[in-house]
Copies of this chain bind each other. A is one copy, B any other.
Amino acid sequence: MKLYEALAADIEASIRTGVLHAGDRLASVRHTSQSRGVSASTVFQAYYLLEARGLIRARERSGYYVSAGVRQVPPELDLTSQPKDESIAVDVSEQVFEILESSMTRDVVPFGSAFPSPLLFPLGRLGQAMASSAQSLDPWSTVDDLSPGNEALRRQIALRYLADGMPVHTDEIVITNGALEALNLCLSAVTRPGDSVVVESPTFYAALQALERMGLQAIEVPTHPREGIDLAALEHAISRHKPKACWLMTTFQNPLGSSMPEAKKKALVELLARHQLPLIEDDVYAELYFGDKRPAPAKAFDTQGLVMHCSSFSKCLAPGYRIGWAAPGRFVKSVARQKLTTTLSASAPAQRAMALYLERGGFDKHLRKLRQTLAAQQATFAEAVGHHFPSGTRATRPAGGYFLWVELPEGIDALKVHRHALSLGISVAPGPIFSASRAFTNCLRLNYGHTWDARSEQALASLGRLVSSL
């Protein structure tokens, strides 16, 4: 990003978040040049850019003013959650299913969906790779590609770890049917029924469903919407409840979008190492960053093999192919065996197609485009929420992924919003499904990973009216 672009972005943020209002006069070019320590021409370029975007306009001999009608985004959600300090049995799966199943149809506006738009992915090039893979399939690959999985694909994944400066070797990687299976296998490898597991508050509902299915208890730990889990609270929970594992999303957490800063991830890994506690790290959104580089996972700081890193291609490349993986550190043998006795292996032609696509190149180019698209859609979506939702609404501003976590004014029942919205043909993901204690009763997770068009705008307007009416 060039200097004038960075300056323009800062000013735009001030406008979008309501620091500057319509009609406010911007500081003079000279003043800004001095206060920012940039040249006058840089300031001019920034102002021209903002003017071109319709955010400010010049009045002759008077300076620049914020335009009328610029949409504001909601104020940022900034408070750490406060779950009860307890280890509790999980019983939410039935409700989660009812809510998810009710919105699993193409007709519904998918603000509640867990998936980004399938139109965002290079299905054509993937299809070519799949065709090549299937038509030249070595019959013995059906044996060779059994768990831990196709070696060429594991090597490609190891190369990506290497490019990110992480020492994960081909032999540590187990190919799975998507990250969800990787997470489940890891959880199963390090727990027994009755054990407790640390999760964030709020957390991804599939983690809760896994705990419930496997007879595990949940310890919900306070989590900040920008910086992730609270380490002091985590250490307290470990001492008090003796969990057997942590299941965390350290980057672009679902639903919060929070990302732990690198130093915090490092501290997390050290803390867990002191307690010899395995970390199941769900890292499926990390490639969808809007900044200048991929945020390092906690895995990058692990020296003891305690971090079980799980990811997939489903959110960033090939939804529906069901190819994910675990890099489970010292637990790799156990995870590979779990895989062999539950689903045996991932589809051989799909594994080979993915390897082929990665070998042919183009993944990073696709990712750059995908990130730009999602970043732009977040801006548009957040402004629409700011415009259509009642005041008192707050929202997160994730630096990646495709979810906004929206806190509605107190007293508004998110489950009621879900039911009414569904009758209008709109899905939302209501807060209570993200918590074993069914908290977050006035929160929604909204998906901005679908193309923004007139239908979305209308749907979000309807949703805003609905929320205001409750």
Contacts and interface: CB of A to CB of B under 8 A. Distances in A.
Contact of A206 (B215, B341, B349): B341
Nearest to A178: B344
Q: How many copies of the shown chain assemble into the complex?
A: 2
A154 to B, nearest CB: 16
A343 B115 contact: no
Contact of A341 (B142, B143, B213): B213
Contact of A177 (B128, B144, B177): B177
Contact of A184 (B178, B342, B345, B346): B342
Contacts of A192: 215
A63 interface: no
Interface string A328-362: 00000000011011111111111001000000000
Given A130-B134, A131-B131, A349 B337 contact: no
A320 B142 CA distance: 4
Contacts of A341: 93, 180, 184, 206, 209-210, 213
Interface stretch (A35-43, A74-82, A116-124, A255-263): A116-124
11 contacts: A100-B340, A118-B140, A130-B130, A130-B133, A131-B134, A137-B320, A180-B343, A181-B342, A321-B347, A346-B347, A349-B350
Interface residues of A, number: 63
Contact of A130 (B117, B121, B131): B131
B180 A97 contact: no
Residue from A137, A141, A320, A322 with most neighbouring chain B CB atoms (10 Å) = A320
A390 interface: no
A135 interface: yes
A68 B470 CA distance: 94
Interface string A88-124: 0000010001001000101000000001011101011
Nearest to A213: B341
A409 interface: no
A377 interface: no
Interface in A37-93: 93
A170 interface: no
A48 to B, nearest CB: 39
A143 B343 contact: no
A117 to B, nearest CB: 8
B118 A126 contact: no
B343 A181 contact: yes
Contacts of A178: 343-344
A318 to B, nearest CB: 9
